[in-house]
Every structure is written in structure tokens, then in C-alpha cells.
Structure 1
Amino acid sequence: MNLNFNMKFAEGYSSNSQIARVLTENWVKENSYCPCCGANPIVEYENNRPVADFYCSKCAEEFELKSKNGKLGGIINDGAYSTMIQRITSNSNPNFFFLTYNKQNTVDNFLIIPKQFFTPEIIIKRPPLSDTAKRAGWIGCNIDISTISNLGKIFLVNNSNIVKPELVQEAFNKTRFLREKNIESKGWILDILNCIEKIPTKDFTLKEVYNFEKELMIKYPNNNHIKDKIRQQLQFLRDKGLIEFNGRGIYKKT
């Protein structure tokens, strides 16, 4: 994997946004592989495809690319709000690549967030454009990736360090079971994962997870059995190998 952009693809372009798009898309096409099955290279779709930018010809996973000059941050600008909501709640939503680069035109970070981690909650609606705007009334959105579990942020390149592909594949496929869940069930699993990640130690207790009961009650006001639900999700995560149960209400992050 070569972390440098191939600058010859910028020739003939004057717009900075066009140059950035061409350079980043070409870099992914020449350097990335499928995080699901490891196939290399992935294939670029034709321009202006509304659903995704790349796909894997072996396992058919689809990927959309978001790139940024500088630090990634927790909020990512995206397109139309209604389109984004429709996509992530459908069966055809893609996985998302996020790429950051520097002034030297080299890649700093390249990660994938699998599609099962995208829920309507992380899509933030922006105010409509004013009546004087060219697209008056248009409503865009931002993606809040700061609330996504660390299990859903899988780096192929982390701070200019290339991660071993076998580790990427293992991490990507570890949570594929979430795709089988409906929105509500998936939401509960992801919420409990986030609660666990807020606990600073690797070992944690059931009581420490119970401390998030009030927070979960606000989110699920119609559920009168929050503690039962917490225990249920912990057992599920244990069965999936994402946490270990060591007896007497003590768990361990794997």
C-alpha cells in the first residue's frame, strides 16, 4: 500500500474539490482491498452512481468514500438528509470508507465503518437552505461518527501506519451478525456496546453497566425492564465473543 497520491491524475483540473475527489478516488482504487474478503483490488463504479463508489467483485460488498484534508473529527458533512436516511434503512446501504490526507498529499488515516453501524440516530439533519439560496429549502445532513462504537471504526491506515489486512478482515467480520437484526434490536446492542466502552477498565461489572439505566430509560421510555434488557444484551454479546463472562457479575472486554 502506497500512502502517496498519484499526482498525475490531478493534471487538467483547476478546482480544488475536483482535484481532491480524483486523487482520493484513484488512491482507493489503486491501494485498497476488500475489508470483508481481502480481494484486491476493489472496483470503481461509474461516476455519479447514487448508492456507492466502489464494490468488491468477489463478495459484492459496496463502499462509499468520504475524504477530508486534515483531521477526521467526529462530524462528517454529507448530502441530502432524506436520501441518507432512506439509504441506511434499506438493504442496499453501502459501507463507508473515510480517508484523511495532509498537505503533502499523503494519506494519514483510512478506515471503514461497516454499514451495520449506521442508524438514523447518527444522521443529523441540517437546517433548510434559505429562500434566497440556489437550492432553497434543500435539507442536508451530517454524520456523527463520534457516537459509533470503536468496534465499528476499523482502520486500514492509522496515523500513517498500515494495519495488517488479516486484522482488518477479522474486525470487519466480527460484527456482521448485526446485519441480521432489525433497527430496534441493533440499536439496543450498539447502545450497550457504547455503555461498555465508556467504562475505562477492561474488566467491568454488571453493576457498572446498570449505572447507565437512567440514560437508557430516556432513550427507551416505553421499556419498563431496562435492567433485564441490559442482562439480555450482555449475554448476547458474550455468546458472540465480544465480551467474556468470568462469573459473579464480572465481565471482560475482549
Structure 2
Amino acid sequence: MHLYLNPDLVASYQKKSQKTRVLTETWMTENGYCPNCGNSTICKFKNNAPVADFFCPECDEQYELKSKAGKSLGTNVADGAYHTMIQRIQSDSNPNFFFLAYDRNHYSIKQLILVPKHFITTEMIIPRNKGIKGRPDYIMCSMNLSTLPESGKILLIDQDKVVEPSKVLQKWQDMLFLRKQKSEQKGWLLAILKCLDQLPEQFTLAQIYKFETQLATQFPNNRHIKDKIRQQLQVLRDQGLLEFSSCGQYRQINIKG
């Protein structure tokens, strides 16, 4: 991957938003690859496509690119119309998301993160109070990345360094099972993965039970939180992400790092 944008492309543009779009979309076209099948090329849809920005010509996986000036993405990334975004991520053709942070002064790529679509939930989409002048009902939104478990943020570039593509593809495959889960079950698995982020690689059942109150608030209709926790740990074990040992001991295998 080449880690610099080409400023010559936008010499005739005036608006920052136009410059950003042309610079980053051109960079992604020239440097991006498909994390699903490993194809070395992804193609750009025509401008203003209703579904996504890019697609893989080999496996048809779709991607949207969101860019932000800065050394890292932080927790919130500005997006477009709130209601449109909600409809898109609830549809069968919802895209995966690339989030790109760049240095506006030096035209360099600082960070690139992939969030697979099976990690995207409506709770991540936050409406912004400010509408568009003359269209008060047209509400914009932001995407809150802080709600994601770490396993849902796949690094392709971090701190000016490119992550080996084989590692990216492996992380994608490790969590691909979530795509087949029904909404409620997936919600529970994402919640448990988020809890595991706060635990050491080796942990006990007693340690994860400490999240019982938090999970009860998150899932108020469930009266058997501990049973549900154990059920999700079993699913993660079956997927090769956890290892069980005696006396309620657990080890995370392919979740952290």
C-alpha cells in the first residue's frame, strides 16, 4: 500500500468535502483490496450509488468509505442523512465500512479500519441535532465506533504502518459466523465480545459474571442473564475463539490483538 494521497488531483477544487472525496476515493481505488476473498482490486461504483462506494469484482462484497482528517478516527465519524443510514444498514445489501484517517497537511494516510457489516447496528447511528438550512426535518448523523468490540475493528493501517493482508483476511474470517446469526442472538454475541475486551486473555466465569447488571440493563426482557452468558461463551468456543479448561477457566484465542 502507498500511504500518500495525490494533491494534484484536487488542484482545481475549492470545497474541502470535494477534495476529501476525490483524494480518498482515488487512493482506495488504487490501494484497496477485498478482505473477504483477498482479491487485490476493489472497484468504485458510479458516483452517488444508493448502496455503497466500492465492490469486489470477484466476490461482490460491497464497501463504503468514510474519511476523517486526523491521526486516528476517534470514536465518532460524521455521516449523511440519519433515516437513510438506518434503512441502509437494515437492508439485505448493507455494506461493510472502511474508516480512513488522514493528515490533511501532509496528505498521508494515518489509519485505515474495516468494520464488517455484521458488526454494524442501529444503536451505532447517532442523530445530530443540527439539520440542513431550509430542511429542518433532514437530520444528519454520526457513527459511534466506541460501541464496537475490538474484534469488530480490523486494522489495515495503524500508526503509519500497513498490517499484513493475511492477518486482515484471517480476522475477517474469524468473525464471519456473525453474519449468519439472527438479530437477537447477534446482539448478545456482540455484547459478550465487548465484555471480553475488558477481561484478560485468561479469565474466569466469575469475572464475566460481573457484567450481569450491565447486560441486564442492555437486555431487560431476559431474566436469566448468567445462563445467557454461558450460552454465548459456548458459541464462541464452538467457533474456535475461546478455550475452556477446568473449574470455570477460559482463554481467549483469536479475539484480542
What is aligned with 1:225? 224
Identity %: 47
Cα shift at 1:217:
0.8
Aligned counterpart, 1:37: 37
Deviation at 1:7, TM superposition (A): 2.3
Q: CA deviation at 1:8?
A: 2.4
SS in 2 for 1:252: strand
Amino acid at match of 1:108: K
For 1:7, the equivalent position in structure 2 comes to: 7
Report the residue type matching 1:238 in the other structure.
R
| Higher-strand-fraction structure | 2
In structure 1, what is the Cα distance between the partners aligned to 2:64 and 2:131? 25
Give 5+ residue unaligned stretches, structure 1: none
The one-character-per-residue Cα deviations of 1:75-109 (angstroms, maximum 9, x if unpaired) are 11111111111111121100000011112001000
What SS does the corresponding residue of 2:129 show, helix, strand or coil? Answer: coil
CA positional deviation for 1:240? 0.5
1:89 is aligned to 90
Specify the alignment match of 2:118 in structure 1.
116
CA RMSD in angstroms, aligned pairs only: 1.2
What is the alpha-carbon distance in structure 2 between the residues aligned to residue 216 and residue 140 of structure 1?
30
SS in 1 for 2:107: coil
- CA 1:125–1:16: 2 relative to 1, 3 Å: closer
> Is 1:107 aligned to 2:106, yes or no?
no
Aligned to 1:127: 129
Mark the CA change 1:217 to 1:142 in structure 2 (over 3 Å): closer, same or farther.
Answer: same
1:128 offset after TM fit, Å? 5.8
Q: 1:251 Cα shift?
A: 0.5
How far apart, in 2, do the equivalents of 1:125 and 1:15 lie? 24
User: Between Structure 1 and Structure 2, how many residues are aligned?
Assistant: 251
Secondary structure at the counterpart of residue 138 of structure 1: strand
| Aligned partners of 1:42 and 1:54 also within 8 Å | yes
Q: Is the 8 A contact 1:119 1:183 kept in 2?
A: no
Q: CA separation in 1, counterparts of 2:220 and 2:148?
A: 22
Report what 1:181 is aligned to. 181
Structure 2 unaligned segments of length 5 or more: list them. none
1:1-254 residue pairs with structure 2 within 5 A? 1-70=1-70, 71-102=72-103, 103-127=105-129, 129=131, 133-199=133-199, 201-254=200-253
User: Which amino acid counterpart does residue 45 of structure 2 have in structure 1?
Assistant: Y
Read off the aligned partner of 2:129 and give its amino acid letter: P
Flag as ranges the 4+ runs of structure 1 deviating above 3 A.
none
Q: CA deviation at 1:222?
A: 1.3
TM-fit CA distance, 1:134: 2.0
Give the residue type in structure 2 aligned to 1:165: P
The Cα shift of 1:138 comes to 1.4
TM superposition shift of 1:129: 2.7
